[in-house]
Every structure is written in C-alpha cells, then in structure tokens.
Structure 1
C-alpha cells in the first residue's frame, strides 16, 4: 500500500524537497477536512448562499468561504509558503516573508452544484515565487498541480511532472494510491460542453460538436469542472468551454491561474492536450491573477482535430 505521504517521501530529490513535501502534506490534509465538511454540510447548516460576492462577482456559498479558510490555514502551517492566491480573494495573500512557494487554488470548484449533491472539487498548483511578480508566469512554471474530487469517493489526482497519480481517501482518512500512472486515452467518443451557450460558440467549436454528434459521440456535462475532468481521466473525451463570441473582451469563462493551468498540466502529464484555440494553455503568460481564458482539453487525437481547425482559420487568437 502506497500512501500519499510515502509517495512524496519516495520522490524527494526530484522537484520535491523537504519543504515542498510539507506543503503538499498540509494541503492534502486540508482537502480531507473539506471532504469531511461536505459530507455533513446539510446537517451543519452549510447549504444555500451567503450575501457575499467574491472578486469574480459570484455569490459565495458558506462552503466556499470555509474551504478557502481551510486552505489558507494549510498555507500558514507551511513555513515555505510565500503567498496564497485564491479564486475567492482579490489579490495574493502574503504568508511567510522567507517562503519560496506560492500556492494557487480554487477552494471549491463547482460549488453552485453543492445543494444538488453533485461532485465538486479543489484545484491547486504550486510554483516558485518569492515576490508577487513571480506569480505571473506561464503554466510551464508549475512544479505541482492537483485536484481533489469530492464525490462517491474522495480522490486526489496529482502530478509533480512525472506522470499522474491518483489517490483515494480510505475510512481512516488516509490517501492511498489507486492508480500509479493515470492516462487519458487518445481517442474517445464523448464530449462535455454547455449546449445552452451554443449561440456563443465560435465556428470551430460549432463544427466540432456538430460532427461529433453526427459520428455517434455522446455529450456529458456536469457543470463542475473537476467532475467533468475526472470523467475524462477515467474514460477519455473532450471538455470545451470556448470564449463567448458575443463578449470577446471577457477572454473566456475559466480562470487561467487556478483552473486552466493546473488542469492543463495534469492533462498533458496524462498524455492528453489542453489548448485555448491556436495556443497551448501552458504557454500563456498571464497578465493578471484573475485572467480568464477559453479552455479545451482532453483526449490527444480529438484535441489535435480541433487545434488543426483553429490553425487553419485566418482569425484572431482568443484572448
């Protein structure tokens, strides 16, 4: 049995040092705490919405706020953490003046689905950063990327740049490895997209979806990025959240730093691909902490088809 802790210890000397092992151990413990809170949230009065909105203009749920605080506390317990960057906060939070790692996270992805008992998750990544300016680097600068999926099981899916490993939380609150080398199959006849936004899709996405339906693909859409991602890791397929052609200034819907970049790193490490259009997600240099981008990722051969169509078009790159 390989636990998360023994896996990290065994990988020391790669990108992992003692400090980063401590950081990841504390974040894993934070996801366990969030998992526990989610299980009893209806009993504890943690359902519904608050009167608060976050920097994204989204109404916060009680568990958004609680999950954010749990992760901030995990960062405070880690002396090597310099900054915490959260979807729920306006700007980066200074943690330890002599820290060297920034932890970037979406505390509770898909929280709008909480009251209907749908899988939600925590997405995070770790980069080297000693100053706020160091945070705005491309996804290639990520040392670690991971997500925790809170569903029928609680899964922790992680990469340290050496493939993707999946751990499952057992009855004793211990993450145990259940897949040592997770791969996304290169071909799969499933796609995930919000069909209600069809009128806003660009021509490439519209044509891809139409052809996919004509050739027998099935559509799946949970509305929780972590849930849709976890399905792709297990069955393959494509996730599409293109830019809104009617609102080009918005750039996209999903956030680059704490959604697109971590998932993009994981997907590439599992043999898949992740793009915004003509460009690869991980090659984008961010211009701000809350920058939004289009996101298309999944099975490599399917993404190659979409990428080829974007590159054949003589149109401007989505922002």
Structure 2
C-alpha cells in the first residue's frame, strides 16, 4: 500500500500544499485519539455555550476546533482559517498563501452515543483583492477549492480526499501512524435505491418536496425497494454514498431560519460536493450545481441533494421542473 505523501507527489501537488495537508492530518490524528478515549478523557457532554449557528457546543467540538486553530495558525503558509464554531475568520500569517475552512466535528450530536463523526476541511488560495484576515477571503465558489477532504472517526480512521483529481480513500495505520492508500479511486454508483434524509422534517417541507417523498415511500413504482439510511452525520452518510451509491438530501423547509436548510456551504456542501463530483456523482442546490454557487457570507446555508447522478436528477426533475 502507498503512503499519503508519495501519492500526493505523484498527483503533482505542490510541496507547500502537501505540508499544509500534513498539518491538518496530524491534528486529525490527535482528534481521533481523543475520540477513542471518550469518557476516559472527559471529553463527552456539552458546554454551556452556543456557537455562531445557535447550536449548543459539545466539549469535543470545542477541543477539536482549538486543536485545528492552534496547529494551522502557526503555519507560515496559512493566511486565515474559518470554522463552523467561529463567528469570523481567524487571522494567520499576512504573507500566507492559503486559507483553510473546517467543520471540526461534523455529526457532533453523535459524540455521546459513540456514533459516526468526522472532520471536514477545505483549502483555497488566498485572495489578493481583500484583506488577508477578512471574512471575504472565504467568499469563493467551491469550484476554486484546491483540496477538500474529511476524516471519518469510526472502527477505522479514514481519510477521503481530493486535490482536484480522483477522490481517494486512505486508512490510518496505527502501527506506524500514517495514512495508507486503500481505495485509489472512489466511484459513486450511477443509480441507487438508498437515500439519507431526516424524515422527521417532513411536516415542515414544501408541498413539492413532500409529494416527492410520498412517491418514494408509498406510491411510486419507480422507487420500489427504496431504503432509507440516516446517521445524523453528513460526513458518515456521504461516505456511504461514496462507497456504494445513494443520495443525501437536506431540503429547505418552512421554519424560520431553515429557509435555506441547515447545511453550510463553506464547511460542508462545497468540500463534500467536490469529493462526490470527483467520484462521478452529482451535487446540487435547488437544481444548481453547488460548486458554482457564488457565496454571500461566511456561514451561508444551502439546501442540498448529492450522490448518484440518476437519483439526484430524479429529485431535481420532480421538485424544480414542475
């Protein structure tokens, strides 16, 4: 099996970017250790604080966020970082070449039950037309990502990443502490009957979305043998889709604050869309390719459907082409 660095070099990734990726992964290994210790390390449970999203922070959320900030902001090549847990961009080196955004622990509601969680990250080139420490640094379309990936903490610690080419999967080898290439090129199945969605939100969805799921669940012969899988961690559901196909959906709904759903464009939708697309899948928001969306704010949310191309098309045709 190939080690991570030689694979990145063979893909033509620049040395500075390789070193930055190494820093992110070194931090992820520390997070993986904290996750594996659970209650033994006193990292379970919630804090008394809320993040910028209005969500109660888990202790491990705060720890993971701080670890990533501490490791990244001492890197000379990092101009700024943005986190789902931070109100604004955090400044690094004014001369840095890259900016990094991350969701330190996606699926944090699963922490206390030992469920699926993961770290999602994305790297962009620093903009020269705005201050290095401005939120506007991160107002870039997902198509400009240099690298996107996630680390999934489970029975094995997996890295899924693309630097513009194939979406590859690596497994953390605890023997020597490095990530080894275990899937050279992930491929999303063209079609699948599996889907991941929070059906508890059905009562809040718009009528066209409800009508689509009525067919999926009850009436549509084309949806026969459909099967729902929902882990309450986007990173886990997307990993399943990359592994065997399916769709992940998080539509907008009628509740105040949920007009654009709950998925963050910068921290979740863009990096996971890059991974899905580079594995042959599709990712869209209200019928638009997610990677072409021009952001308007740091914590912008978008409705999402991504996964097997045929399944994504069926949803878009049913909901947006009435």
- TM-score bracket relative to the smaller structure: over 0.9
Alpha-carbon separation, structure 2, partners of 1:97 and 1:53: 30
For 1:124-148, what per-residue CA distance to the aligned partner results, in whole angstroms no more than 9, with x for missing partners?
1000114333320111111111011
2:196 paired residue number = 192
Counterpart-to-counterpart distance in 2, 1:68 and 1:5: 25
After superposition, residues 97-108 of structure 1 pair within 5 angstroms as 97-108=94-105
Secondary structure class of the residue paired with 1:50: strand
Structure 2: 5+ residue stretches without partners: 219-223
- Is residue 95 from structure 1 mapped to residue 104 from structure 2 by the alignment? no
Query: 1-side partners of 2:255 and 2:311: how far apart?
Result: 26
What displacement does 1:308 show? 2.0
| Number of residues of Structure 1 aligned to a counterpart in Structure 2 | 310
Q: Identify the residue that residue 231 of structure 2 maps to in structure 1.
A: 222
TM-score computed with the length of structure 2 as normaliser: 0.93
- Residue matched to 1:11: 11
Which of 138-147 and 2-11 deviates more? Answer: 2-11
Which deviations, in whole Å up to 9, do the C-alpha atoms of 1:88-118 show, x marking residues without a partner?
Answer: 0000011111001110100000111111110
Within the candidate set 25, 32, 36, 1:35 is matched to 32
Residue in structure 1 matched with residue 288 of structure 2 by the alignment: 279
Determine the structure 2 residue equivalent to 1:317: none
1:159 maps to 162
8 Å CA contact retained: 1:49, 1:60: yes
Question: Counterpart in 2 of 1:146?
Answer: 149
Quote the RMSD (CA, aligned, Å): 1.4
* Partner Cα distance (1:278, 1:294) in 2: 10
Select which of 113, 117, 124 maps to 1:120: 117
- Aligned partner (choices 210, 215, 238) of residue 211 of structure 1: 215
Q: Deviations over 1:189-235 (max 9, x none)?
A: 11111111101223343233232334110111110111111111112
CA distance in 1, matches of 2:280, 2:211: 25
Q: Is 2:52–2:84's contact at 8 Å kept on the other side of the alignment?
A: yes
**Is the contact made by 1:202 and 1:242 (CA closer than 8 Å) also made in structure 2?**
no
- Select which of 283, 287, 299 maps to 1:290: 299
Which runs of no fewer than 5 residues in structure 1 stay unpaired?
314-319
Contact 1:204 1:306 in 2 (8 A): no
Out of 167, 176, 183, which is 2:187 matched to? Answer: 183
Find out whether 1:53 has 2:66 as its counterpart: no
Contact in 1 for aligned 2:118/2:152 (Cα 8 Å):
yes
| Closer/same/farther in 2, CA of residues 248 and 68 from structure 1, 3 Å limit | closer
User: For the structure 1 residues 145 and 216, does the alpha-carbon distance in structure 2 shift closer, same or farther, using more than 3 Å as the test?
Assistant: same
* Whole-angstrom CA distance in 2 between matches of 1:250 and 1:308: 20
2:18 is paired with a residue whose SS is: helix
CA distance in 1, matches of 2:273, 2:297: 18
Mapped partners of 1:152, 1:4: distance in 2 = 20
Contact 1:239 1:296 in 2 (8 A): yes
Q: Secondary structure at the match of 1:23?
A: helix
Q: Aligned partners of 1:249, 1:184: CA distance in 2, in Å?
A: 29
Report runs of 4+ in structure 1 exceeding 3 Å deviation.
Answer: 246-250
TM-aligned CA deviation for residue 248 of structure 1: 6.9
Could you state the TM-score of these two structures normalised by the residue count of structure 1?
Answer: 0.94
CA distance in 2, matches of 1:200, 1:21: 44
Which residue is equivalent to 1:316?
A: none
SS at match of 1:274: strand
Say which is worse superposed, 106-115 or 303-312, in terms of deviation: 303-312
